[in-house]
Amino acid sequence: MSDDQLSAEQRDARYVMHPLTDARANLQSGSLLMERGEGVYVFDNAGNRYIEAMAGLWSVGLGFSEQRLVDAAIKQLNRLPYYHAFSQKGHNPMVDLAEKLVGMAPVPMSKVFFTNSGSEANDTVVKMLWYRSNALGETQRKKFIGRKKGYHGITVASGSLTGLPVNHRSFDLPLPGFLHVSTPHHWREAQPGEGEEAFATRLATELEELILKEGPETIAAFIGEPVMGAGGVIAPPATYWEKIQAVLSKYGILLIADEVICGFGRTGNMFGCETFGIKPDIMVLSKQLSSSYQPISAILLNERVFEPIADETHTIGTFGHGFTGGGHPVAAAVALENLNILEERNIVGHVRDIAPALQEGLRTLSDHPLVGEVRGLGLIAAVELVTDKGAKSSRHPAGALGKRAAAILQNKGVISRAAGDALTFCPPMIVEKDQIDAILTALHSALDETAKEML
């Protein structure tokens, strides 16, 4: 059959290799292809409408039809469609955006380095801190500590920071020097009778013991998401970040806050760092920075990080790292307009107002026979599924329950994402109560159908 006789789905199967996908399965059927978006909805090639309850990939904060972002892109394309940031060159949108971000930061920051994705940003942070350690003459200080189930990207370095086995298997990751401590998930990881603060104390002790075992002089930084996203929407237990930061401060170890998902309103504050009292040396931003209308990411550095790097670039004559599209003028212009809209429409306030409808609504499902835990805050949440509530386990292979429930939910017009056996929810931040109610109704029905099949 010639290509012009094939459906788009059949051509997808023939020509496209997808990320985070069983390639053999895609050869059989192709993928669900979206044709257009409107507000919190997306429409597939057959005209079916879905509530995109994951905002794409945790990222389309303003929904799928914000005309001001489209107009900002067109305006910039007509004025200066491309320029770079290499060799002391640049352009106005990049400068304006950097100034805006430094001004918005919840702790003092000095400079912004632009990349194209969260993965590229975290990969760049690794290189920056290796570079900084060499500049300081601390040539052993090259190790990074992340957390199991943390997600920080998929390049060789950022994939090593990540603590998810699915992103390591068959890739020979993580690289040496990338260490991982326990997941701060009280429901699943706490010992019997261990309260949240005692659990947090134990995790801080674990971190300190690892630092001492490896040698404090070998650790460059600790990286963490304020709320863990792809690992299953795991909010930290009470006092966790306070105690982790005390350990890092004791040994002079830098703190990297991965705000790629939490940033720009998702937790009910502009940044997740504000929600949990985190005072990072580096902040990594992407996704909702441009509402994902354009690929862009930003690394915010404080003076403690920047100054030794600047000294080394003066010694060498350059900072030998960068990306062709880093700080792209169209992406920067869209990001600036996105930030303007967030402020003008008080989107963060809307998140705080509407979040109880999602969080309390999901918690009404706690008594369902498949629901082990409901967790989250702001407009990010997860429902973890089990077949044995007492054991907090499933009798099916890991991930099978979540995958099946997500598929049934999708057939009911709501797109979620399974993180193992947890269904995750992260709707566009413009979502309204009637749309949240529709998500909840579809989810309840999907759980009932899943229970009939799999309990």
Distances (CA, A) of 383 to 14, 41, 155, 443: 35, 21, 29, 10
Query: Is residue 421 located within the same domain as residue 352?
Result: yes
Residues 374 and 301 in one domain: no
340 and 350 fall within a common domain = no
Alpha helix (H) residue ranges in 215-328: 240-250, 272-276, 303-316
Among 311, 344, 377, residue at a domain's last position: 344
- What's the CATH code of the domain at 356? 3.90.1150.10
- Residue 319: CB atoms within 10 A of its CB come to 16
In a domain, 8, yes or no: no
Q: What is the pLDDT of residue 411?
A: 98
17 lies in some domain: no
Residue 135 has what pLDDT? 98
Round to whole Å and give the CA distance between 293 and 258.
20
Beta strand spans in 312-379 (E): 371-377
pLDDT in tens, the chain (455 residues): 667 789 999 999 999 999 999 999 999 989 999 999 999 999 999 999 999 999 999 999 999 999 999 999 999 999 999 999 999 999 999 999 999 999 999 999 999 999 999 999 999 999 999 999 999 999 999 999 999 999 999 999 999 999 999 999 999 999 999 999 999 999 999 999 999 999 999 999 999 999 999 999 999 999 999 999 999 999 999 999 999 999 999 999 999 999 999 999 999 999 999 999 999 999 999 999 999 999 999 999 999 999 999 999 999 999 999 999 999 999 999 999 999 999 999 999 999 999 999 999 999 999 999 999 999 999 999 999 999 999 999 999 999 999 999 999 999 999 999 999 999 999 999 999 999 999 999 999 999 999 999 99
Count of domains forming the chain: 2
Is 4 inside a domain boundary? no
Among 299, 325, 344, which residue terminates a domain?
A: 344
Here the CATH number for the domain that contains residue 329 is 3.40.640.10
Same domain, 246 and 121: yes
Going by their DSSP bridges, the two strands 178-181 and 143-147 should be labelled as parallel
Q: Crossing angle for the helix pair 400-411 and 433-454, nearest 10 degrees? A: 130
Instruction: State the Cα–Cα distance between residues 285 and 366, nearest whole angstrom.
Output: 33
User: What is the identity of the amino acid at 175?
Assistant: L
Q: Answer whether residue 236 is part of any domain.
A: yes
Query: Strand pairing partners for 418?
Result: 423
Q: Same structural domain for residues 357 and 434?
A: yes
pLDDT tens digits along 8-42: 999 999 999 999 999 999 999 899 999 999 999 99
Q: Where a domain ends, among 323, 344, 365? A: 344
Residue 137 belongs to domain spanning? 69-344
| Nearest Cα residue to 109 out of 300, 309, 339, 305 | 300
- Residues 166-200: pLDDT tens digits? 999 999 999 999 999 999 999 999 999 999 999 99
Same domain, 365 and 330: no
Would residue 10 count as lying in a domain?
A: no
Question: Helix, strand, coil: what percent of the chain each, to 5?
Answer: 45, 15, 40
Within-domain flag for 6: no
- Position 373 in a domain: yes
pLDDT in tens, 301-331: 999 999 999 999 999 999 999 999 999 999 9
pLDDT of residue 1: 63
> Contact, 292 vs 56, CB < 8 A?
yes
Domain shared by 323 and 336, yes or no: yes
